[in-house]
Amino acid sequence: MDARRALEGRRAFVTGGANGIGAAIARRLSIEGAEVVIADIDIGSAALLAQDIGARAVGLDVADLGRVREVVDASGPFDILVNNAGVDQHAFFTSTTIEQWRTLLSVNLESVFATTHAVLPAMQAAGFGRIINIASEAGRLGSRGGAVYAAAKGGVIAFTKSIARENARKGITANAIAPGPIETPLLRKAVERGGAALLESMKAATLLGRLGSPAEVAAAVAFLACDEASFITGETLGVSGGMGCSG
Ligand SMILES: NC(=O)c1ccc[n+]([C@@H]2O[C@H](COP(=O)([O-])OP(=O)(O)OC[C@H]3O[C@@H](n4cnc5c(N)ncnc54)[C@H](O)[C@@H]3O)[C@@H](O)[C@H]2O)c1
* Ligand 1 centroid, distance to 86 Cα (angstroms): 4
- 10-residue averages of pLDDT along the chain (247 residues): 82 98 98 98 98 98 98 98 96 96 98 98 98 98 96 98 98 98 95 92 96 98 97 98 81
Q: Three-class SS of residue 51?
A: helix
Contact 16, 38 (CB under 8 A): no
Bond from prior residue into 181 cis (ω within 30 degrees of 0): no
What DSSP character marks residue 84?
Answer: -
- pLDDT (tens digit per residue) in 127-178: 999 999 999 999 999 999 999 999 999 999 999 999 999 999 999 999 999 9
Report the pocket of ligand 1 as residue ranges, CB < 6 Å.
15-16, 18-22, 40-42, 60-63, 84-88, 107, 134, 136, 179, 181-182, 184-187
Q: 11-239 has which CATH code?
A: 3.40.50.720
pLDDT at 48: 98
pLDDT at 1: 44
The string of DSSP letters for 199-222 reads HHHHHHTSSS-S-B-HHHHHHHHH
- The angle, 0 to 180 degrees and rounded to 10, between the axes of the packed helices 20-31 and 214-225 is 50
Q: How far apart are CA 229 and CA 232, in angstroms?
A: 6
- Of the residues 86, 131, 133, 149, only one is catalytic, namely 149
pLDDT at 244: 81
pLDDT at 4: 80
- Residue 121, number of CB atoms within 10 A of its CB: 11
pLDDT at 245: 81
The answer to whether 236 is a known catalytic residue is: no
